[in-house]
Amino acid sequence: MSLFLYSRTLLPGAFLTLLFAGAALLSLVWVPYDPTVLDIANKIKSPSWAHPFGTDQFGRDILSMIMVGARTSIAVALVAVGIGMLVGVPLGLAAAARKGGLLDEVIMRMNDLVFAFPSLLIAVMITAVFGASALNAIIAIGIFNIPVFARLTRGTALSLWSRDYIMAARVAGKGPARISLEHILPNVANLLIVQGTIQFSLGILAEAGLSYVGLGAQPPTASWGRMLADSQTMISFAPHLALFPGLAILLTVLGLNLLGDGLRDILDPKLRRVRA
Amino acid sequence: MRLRKFGSGLISVLALAASIGMAHAKSDIIVAMQLEPPHLDPTSAAAGAIDSVLYSNVFEGLTRFGPDGSVNPGLAESWTISEDGKTYTFNLRPGVMFHDGTEMTAEDVKFSLERARADDSANAQKALFAGIENVEVVDPQTVKVTLSAPNGSFLFNMAWGDAVIVAPESIENIKSNPVGTGAFKFSNWVQGDRIELEKNADYWGEPTKLDKATFKFISDPTAAFAAVMAEDVNAFVGFPAPENLPQFEADPRFQVLVGSTEGETILSTNNKLPPLDNLNVRKAIAHAIDRQAIIDGAMFGYGTPIGTHFAPHNPDYVDLTANSKYDPELSKKLLTEAGHPDGFTTTLKLPPPSYARRGGEIIAAQLRAVGIETEITNLEWAQWLEQVFKGKDYGLTIVSHTEPMDIGIYARPDYYFQYDSPEFQKLFTDLTAENDPEKRSELLKKAQEMISNDYVNGYLFQLAFPTVANAKIKGLWENQPTQATDLTGVYWED
């Protein structure tokens, strides 16, 4: 509990994140109404006890859709960040171990290439070629996460490579691969967790953006971005249709950013020293 | 005191400005629509957007559709039909000029018809001209068309936008610079934004009250709503978001016209793709669909249920909705009989309009209830034309067929839903040859029943055509007997 004292942002961030993660997990076993079943007679109802967030243009319960949408968002963003980490971190470690070498050049220039494209453009390209689906959205968001992690890992690893304890490990006869794994990676991990949280929130935004333009999860899978897109002609007379998915995106992204900030406060060794 | 003086001065200035503005009724109009034409030649493309801008405004045919769907004289002042029903002699109006200053004569009519029916013709409705055997110029004002067999709908066919009269002098650049005989002439096309027309001072008929007409293209429903609300456009024909209509109705600045169209909105079914090639499977789909739920959910109540491919406002319409009434239990039974007790999975490819996208979600849920899973893919129009219409790579799709009297598409086995029934093809040949109105009506009814009993497609509803316009605009077409935005009779009320 004392951890929360170090950071004013950690508690609200963790609360919001757990709230939506909890809603997503809960939706696996229980939702108030099945969001794939339409009830046209009950369409566009304002919030009530039966439907706390109201119903949408097909009479589906918006609360249920938000819960299932949380699952879609979190799953897409989680897997996408996973791809980015699993590919990006080894690339960054390898580049740092071979600093100035051909491998370093090749890896980092490829990263620059991916980085040079606006991230959503890559996503649109991928979905245009392979069709719109949640899986392709995951791949697209994953791909533009790779250079973020590769660069972060390489940059941090480079400063570590000149440390005395690394020198000691080299003298002891450890190869670059082992050093990277045993000594560099654990020291980069803190930063990766912080960056991962931030990327996670960006992933959720990207998923919402892609489904907003129709390139993310396809119906009947509920998705926050598509809920927004579907409701925008009705904002003038049924604002709750856009309000709740909009709030869900806002609060989740806010929560993750606060959490990332808080984690950095705790995990970053430099900041820790200041506190001490 | 000073302030009040200033205020009253301001008011009088405003009043003066307003009175200057009010002195004349407006003579220009900005009409918005959703789709932009790919080019401007109505005689060489299926795109209805071309006719929505140019039909009757810029181009005219021998006959023309009135706002009620009746066939009226157009460039042909009158005509006589021979005893055997095979020869039509058209008397052309004298002194009709094309917009480039050349005169419209019988030679132009011959040129237009020959061009449309030529083997290498790019006309999207070649069937309209298929029966023509010979076009003969009798004198500059008279043209004689001989048919190979009597055709009861020939005058109707000649009113289509695909049968307008064009001139050999201007045909080369028609796609970017259309030259017709209409009351408006083409002046400018800013691609991706608007097409401007201006009054044709040398028009043969009654001159238009408008000096200038601008067609603006706004595809996004939200932007459409904003443009009308902000009065950036004076009218929006084919308003894409039915959910917003009640707001316009409640606003005294606007009038809302909800007209009928020739748009049969159907769940098109690939009749050659297993298991959809099985009659019982198609019947099961038909009984799984709750039309009223689709009309309420996708169109917010605007639309008339149909049970066959025919417009309900047509006197020959037969109400066959009972043939495919909503009955999920029967649907499940039929699926079991067809050998799919656990249902099956097929694709549902949806073009952009909201009737398709929303209707698709509703239909998917209704089909799921009887065990049929659909994989929904949302497509842009170009992709839809490529994959579904040309490629026939689909299981189900939703689209509105807006051509008038287009039941003849069921006689074309290569058409995208691939309905190949020799009986229907024979029936349609008989229908085309029939001149007697009573027998025609009988055959038309039979045709409707035949496709309904074969459950070729899921018949959903007749598309409503909403127009939102400034309350002071008069003379707009309410209904859409053909795709057109006829501005020749439109004016601003003082």
The structure tokens listed for B91 are 């008397």
Residues B186 and B113 in one domain: no
Minimum Cα–Cα distance from A229: chain B residue: B222
Count structural domains, chain B. 3
Q: Give CA–CA dist A221/A218, Å, rounded.
A: 6
pLDDT of residue B364: 94
CATH of the domain at B222: 3.40.190.10
Residues B222 and B333 in one domain: no
Mean pLDDT, range A178-205, rounded to an integer: 92
Say if B22 falls within a structural domain.
no
Q: For tokens 């796609």, what's the residue?
A: B175
Residues B301 and B397 in one domain: yes
Mean pLDDT, range B119-139, rounded to an integer: 89
Q: Give CA–CA dist B483/B49, Å, rounded.
A: 8
- CB-CB neighbors (< 8 A) of A43 in chain B: 296-297
Mean pLDDT, range A36-65, rounded to an integer: 89
Residues B183 and B169 in one domain: no
Give just the sign of the alpha carbon dihedral B363, B364, B366, B370.
positive
pLDDT band at residue B18 using 50, 70 and 90 as cut-offs: very low
Inform me whether the pLDDT recorded for B23 exceeds 70. Answer: no
Q: What is the pLDDT of residues B41-86, one digit of tens each?
A: 999 887 788 999 999 999 999 999 988 888 999 999 999 999 888 9
Residues B357 and B479 in one domain: no
- Contact between B377 and A57 using a beta-carbon 8 Å cutoff: no
Best residue of A36, A127, A233, A236 to probe chain B, by most B CBs closer than 10 Å: A233
Percentage, residues of chain B above pLDDT 70: 95
Percentage, residues of chain B above pLDDT 90: 72
pLDDT of residue A37: 85
Shortest distance, CA B47 to any CA of chain A (angstroms): 24
Say if B358 falls within a structural domain.
yes
* E strand or H helix at B216: strand B212-217
Residues B236 and B377 in one domain: no
Mean pLDDT taken over chain A: 89
Domain that holds residue B119: 48-173
CA count, 13 A, side-chain hemisphere, B150:
14
Q: Give CA–CA dist B486/B146, Å, rounded.
A: 30
Percentage, residues of chain A above pLDDT 90: 57
Domain end: B144, B173, B202, which one? B173
Mean pLDDT taken over chain B: 90
Q: Give CA–CA dist A204/A201, Å, rounded.
A: 5
Domain end: B121, B139, B173, which one? B173
Q: Is the peptide bond before B305 cis (omega within 30 degrees of 0)?
A: no
pLDDT of residue B284: 94
- CB-CB neighbors (< 8 A) of B364 in chain A: 219-220
Mean pLDDT, range B278-287, rounded to an integer: 94
Q: What pTM was computed for the model? A: 0.80
pLDDT of residue B20: 47
Q: How far is CA B435 from the centre of its chain?
A: 26
Say if B378 falls within a structural domain.
yes
Say if B7 falls within a structural domain.
no
- Contact between A236 and B358 using a beta-carbon 8 Å cutoff: no
Q: Give CA–CA dist B353/B219, Å, rounded.
A: 10
pLDDT of residue B173: 92
Q: Find the CB nearest A131 among B360, B366, B377.
A: B377
- Contact between B378 and A233 using a beta-carbon 8 Å cutoff: no
Residues B357 and B274 in one domain: yes
CATH of the domain at B122: 3.90.76.10
Mean pLDDT, range A124-132, rounded to an integer: 80
Interface of A with B in 217-276 (CB under 8 A): 218-220, 232-234, 236-237
Question: Residues in chain B whose beta carbon is closer than 8 A to a beta carbon of chain A?
Answer: 221-222, 225, 241, 243-244, 246-247, 293, 296-297, 358, 360-362, 364-366, 368, 375-378
Q: Find the CB nearest A219 among B244, B297, B364.
A: B364
ipTM summary value: 0.77
Say if B238 falls within a structural domain.
yes
Residues B230 and B143 in one domain: no
Inform me whether the pLDDT recorded for B189 exceeds 70. Answer: yes
| Largest Cα–Cα separation, chain B | 90
Domain end: B149, B173, B197, which one? B173
pLDDT of residue B291: 94
Query: Given CB atoms, is A2 within the 8 Å cutoff of chain B?
Result: no
Inform me whether the pLDDT recorded for B10 exceeds 60. Answer: no
pLDDT of residue A272: 58
Say if B458 falls within a structural domain.
yes
CATH of the domain at B428: 3.10.105.10
Q: Give CA–CA dist B49/B42, Å, rounded.
A: 9
Mean pLDDT, range A200-221, rounded to an integer: 88
Say if B11 falls within a structural domain.
no
Say if B84 falls within a structural domain.
yes
Minimum Cα–Cα distance from B225: chain A residue: A233
pLDDT of residue B435: 75
Residues B447 and B482 in one domain: no
Mean pLDDT, range B334-342, rounded to an integer: 92
Q: What is the pLDDT of residues B428-465, one digit of tens each?
A: 988 888 878 889 899 999 999 999 999 999 999 999 99
